[in-house]
Structure 1
Amino acid sequence: MTRLISAGRDTVNYPDKGATAHRPLPAGYHHLNHRTRLGHGRAVFEAAGTAVTTFHAHRTSGMRIRADAGAVRPGSRVVGIGLGPLRIDAPCQVIWTAYEPARIGFAYGTRPGHPECGEESFIVDMDADGTVWFTVTAFSRPNTWYTRLAGPVVPFLQLRYARWLGHRLRKLATAA
């Protein structure tokens, strides 16, 4: 079941909250959709779903994340996103979660103070034949002078990170 946060706790800095849960993505943003095959079977699906919804996949990929809860839930706050030596306060809020028999994941949206504005989802799906996939879907645009100045570098880095995260998640899920 996909759960969306209530409007009362909404503190995101963009008007298209929840748009990664359906299509089409909103106009006026850079769009990202990257899919990685993780493996096959229920064990891979469950290991990958747990790694995504506890930020373990993000952390083992080199990302520093501080979250106010162990497992994601609608309304959870996430701060301090960074990769390698680059650390930026980038406040986000979990917008929706999916804990379903063949779909596990979540989306977070940017909050005031984030260098971008938009939303990103991280979903693990299992097809009817048992093939397990990881999909990163995002829409974003610059929210600060330095992300505007970076121009096409930010979308390039987002795609590189989505690929790297899929690679790391495949290793985590198949090692379980």
Structure 2
Amino acid sequence: MSSLTYPDQLQLATLALADGRAPHEVGIDTSWTITDHAAALGQGPGCLAAASTRLLTWRAHAHAGVRVSREGRLVRLSVGPTLSPCLILHEETTPTRTVLVYGTLPGHVECGEEAFIVSMAENGQVSGRCVAFSRHAWWLARLGAPVARQVQRHVTRRYVDGMRP
């Protein structure tokens, strides 16, 4: 399997960020862009189950206009003419939380990691969240950095919206 395109010590740093740790505490300096978006999805175990299914069957990605093919831990994301390979680093399903984390592989338009989290609070409120750190790997994304970041924020919001049952 190919190696990730970011430092090993940053593996699963998205989960530390989601747990409230500051970027500098986990070794993420200012050369990385942090993207973090969360939204309420609904209420109760049924909502949690449906949102988790949407995440783990890639329907949240499809909602964002991202086509996905998966072979084991290797995932290929397609948006328009781009093909961006990722490696699934962590998958977790508990009675109150579902998590999917992947990191970028060579050829991805970005360099970094993204975590997708569906969780249910004690009061039954179900939330969806996407946390990422990244920097542009593709020359065209670096050239059009402000537009590329705007597209990334839009897609991130659509991922979370796509978790909604």
TM-score normalised over the length of structure 2? 0.87
Query: Is 1:126 aligned with 2:129?
Result: no
Query: Is 1:20 aligned with 2:14?
Result: yes
In the TM superposition, residue 144 of structure 1 has moved relative to its aligned partner by 2.3
Query: Is 1:91 aligned with 2:94?
Result: no
Two-structure CA RMSD over aligned residues (Å):
1.5
In the TM superposition, residue 118 of structure 1 has moved relative to its aligned partner by 0.2
Taking every aligned residue pair, what percent have the same amino acid on both sides?
A: 33
Deviations along 1:78-102, one digit per CA (max 9) or x if unpaired, are: 11421xxx13110101111221221
Query: Is 1:156 aligned with 2:150?
Result: yes
Name the counterpart of 2:68. Answer: 65
In the TM superposition, residue 140 of structure 1 has moved relative to its aligned partner by 0.3
Q: Which consecutive unaligned segments of at least 5 residues does structure 1 have?
A: 1-8, 70-75
Amino acid at match of 1:138: A
2 CA distance for matches of 1:80 and 1:135?
19
Deviations along 1:50-72, one digit per CA (max 9) or x if unpaired, are: 11012122124432111114xxx
2 CA distance for matches of 1:143 and 1:66?
21
Contact 1:80-1:87 at 8 Å conserved across structures: no
Contact 2:37-2:130 at 8 Å conserved across structures: yes
Secondary structure of the residue aligned to 1:20 is helix
In the TM superposition, residue 34 of structure 1 has moved relative to its aligned partner by 0.2
Amino acid at match of 1:158: Q
20-29 or 121-130, which deviates more: 20-29
Deviations along 1:115-158, one digit per CA (max 9) or x if unpaired, are: 21000111001000000000000000011211110112222111
Runs of 4+ with >6 A deviation: none
Secondary structure of the residue aligned to 1:90 is strand
1 CA distance for matches of 2:34 and 2:77?
23
Query: Is 1:81 aligned with 2:78?
Result: yes
1 CA distance for matches of 2:155 and 2:136?
17
Name the counterpart of 2:59. Answer: 56
Amino acid at match of 2:136: P
Secondary structure of the residue aligned to 2:83 is coil
In the TM superposition, residue 10 of structure 1 has moved relative to its aligned partner by 6.6
Aligned residue pairs, count: 154
Contact 2:54-2:162 at 8 Å conserved across structures: no
